[in-house]
Amino acid sequence: MLGLMQQWPLLCHKIVDHAARQHGHREIVTRSIEGPIMRTTYGELRERSLKVAQLLTRDGFKRGDRIGTLAWNTGRHLESWYGIMGMGGVYHTLNPRLFPEQIAWIMNHAEDQCLFVDLTFMPIVEAIAPAIQSLKKVIVFTDGAHMPETGLSNVVAYEDWLAGADGDFSWVELDENEACGMCYTSGTTGDPKGVVYSHRSNVLHAMIAALPDAMGVSSRDVILPVVPMFHANAWGLAQTAPLIGAKMVMPGAKMDGASIYELLDTEKVSFTAAVPTVWLMLLQYLEETGKKLPYLNKVVIGGSACPRAMTEKFEKNYGVEVVHAWGMTEMSPLGTLGSIKPEYVELTGDRLFDIKEKQGHSPFGVEMKITDDENIELPWDGKTFGRLKVRGPAVASGYYGGAGADQFDSEDWFDTGDVAHIDPNGYMQITDRAKDVIKSGGEWISTIDLENLAVGHPDVAEAAVIGIAHPKWDERPLLVIVRKQGKEPSREEILQFMEGKIAKWWMPDDVVFVEEIPHTATGKIQKTTLREQFRGYALPSA
Lay out the site mask for a second copy across 4-43 (x = CB under 8 A, - = otherwise): xxxxx-x---xx-xx--xxx-xx-----------------
- CB 193, min distance to a second copy, A: 10
Among the residue ranges 29-37, 170-178, 491-499, 516-524, the one whose residues contact a second copy (CB under 8 A): 170-178
Among the residue ranges 75-83, 122-130, 313-321, 333-341, the one whose residues contact a second copy (CB under 8 A): 333-341
Extended strands (E) in 188-333? 193-198, 222-225, 247-250, 271-274, 298-301, 321-327
Q: Does 364 bind a second copy (CB under 8 A)?
A: yes
Among the residue ranges 74-82, 201-209, 225-233, 486-494, the one whose residues contact a second copy (CB under 8 A): 201-209
Q: Does 47 bind a second copy (CB under 8 A)?
A: no
Give the residue with the Cβ less far from a second copy, 65 or 436: 65
φ and ψ at 494, to 5 degrees? -65, -50
Options 1, 145, 376, 521; binder of a second copy; rule CB under 8 A: 1
Distances 198 to 69, 176, 439, 477 between C-alpha atoms, Å: 17, 7, 38, 43
Roughly what angle, to the nearest 10 degrees, separates helices 199-210 and 237-244? Answer: 70
Give the residue with the Cβ less far from a second copy, 384 or 522: 384
φ and ψ at 105, to 5 degrees? -60, -45
Residues facing residue 510 across a β-bridge: 478
Window 517-536: residues binding a second copy (CB under 8 A)? none
Among the residue ranges 28-36, 133-141, 357-365, 516-524, the one whose residues contact a second copy (CB under 8 A): 357-365
- CB 175, min distance to a second copy, A: 8
Residues 388 and 420 sit within 8 Å (Cβ to Cβ): yes
Residues 115 and 138 sit within 8 Å (Cβ to Cβ): yes
Handedness of CA 209, 215, 218, 222 (dihedral sign): negative
Q: Does 211 bind a second copy (CB under 8 A)?
A: yes
Question: What is the rounded distance in angstroms from the CA atom of residue 81 to the CA atom of residue 448?
Answer: 38
Options 39, 58, 220, 292; binder of a second copy; rule CB under 8 A: 220
Query: Is 101 a known active-site residue?
Result: no
Residue 523 region by backbone torsions, left for phi larger than 0, else alpha for psi between -120 and 50, else beta: left
Give the residue with the Cβ less far from a second copy, 178 or 510: 178
CB within 8 Å of 535: residues ≥ 6 apart: none
Considering all CA atoms of the chain, what is the largest pairwise distance in Å, rounded to the nearest integer?
77
Options 2, 145, 405, 521; binder of a second copy; rule CB under 8 A: 2
Window 131-160: residues binding a second copy (CB under 8 A)? none
Question: What is the rounded distance in angstroms from the CA atom of residue 485 to the CA atom of residue 506?
Answer: 28
Options 343, 443, 493, 499; binder of a second copy; rule CB under 8 A: 343
Check 185, 371, 528, 529 and give the catalytic one: 185
Lay out the site mask for a second copy across 246-285 (x = CB under 8 A, - = otherwise): -x--------------------------------------
φ and ψ at 329, to 5 degrees? -50, -40
Q: Does 358 bind a second copy (CB under 8 A)?
A: no
Residues 337 and 305 sit within 8 Å (Cβ to Cβ): no
Question: What is the rounded distance in angstroms from the CA atom of residue 365 to the CA atom of residue 393?
Answer: 6
Lay out the site mask for a second copy across 379-418 (x = CB under 8 A, - = otherwise): ------------xxxxxxxxxx-----------x-x----
Handedness of CA 369, 373, 378, 381 (dihedral sign): negative
Options 170, 219, 317, 541; binder of a second copy; rule CB under 8 A: 219
Give the residue with the Cβ less far from a second copy, 78 or 179: 179
Question: What is the rounded distance in angstroms from the CA atom of residue 113 to the CA atom of residue 115?
Answer: 7
CB within 8 Å of 369: residues ≥ 6 apart: 377, 378, 388, 389, 413
Check 105, 235, 444, 473 and give the catalytic one: 444
Provide the 8-state DSSP code for 37. E
Among the residue ranges 190-198, 299-307, 435-443, 460-468, the one whose residues contact a second copy (CB under 8 A): 190-198
Lay out the site mask for a second copy across 412-451 (x = CB under 8 A, - = otherwise): x-x-----------x-------------------------
Residues 107 and 129 sit within 8 Å (Cβ to Cβ): no
Give the residue with the Cβ less far from a second copy, 117 or 196: 196
Window 231-250: residues binding a second copy (CB under 8 A)? 243-245, 247
* Burial (0-12, 13-18, 19+ Cβ within 10 Å), 125: buried
Q: 3-class SS at 464?
A: strand
Give the residue with the Cβ less far from a second copy, 279 or 427: 427
Question: What is the rounded distance in angstroms from the CA atom of residue 233 to the CA atom of residue 514?
Answer: 39
Number of residues that bind a second copy (CB under 8 A): 74
Q: Does 60 bind a second copy (CB under 8 A)?
A: no
Query: Is 185 a known active-site residue?
Result: yes
Query: Is 330 a known active-site residue?
Result: yes
Among the residue ranges 194-202, 464-472, 497-505, 526-534, the one whose residues contact a second copy (CB under 8 A): 194-202
Give the residue with the Cβ less far from a second copy, 395 or 448: 395
- CB 244, min distance to a second copy, A: 6
Query: Is 235 a known active-site residue?
Result: no
Question: What is the rounded distance in angstroms from the CA atom of residue 106 to the CA atom of residue 132?
Answer: 10
- Catalytically active residues are 185, 330, 439, 444
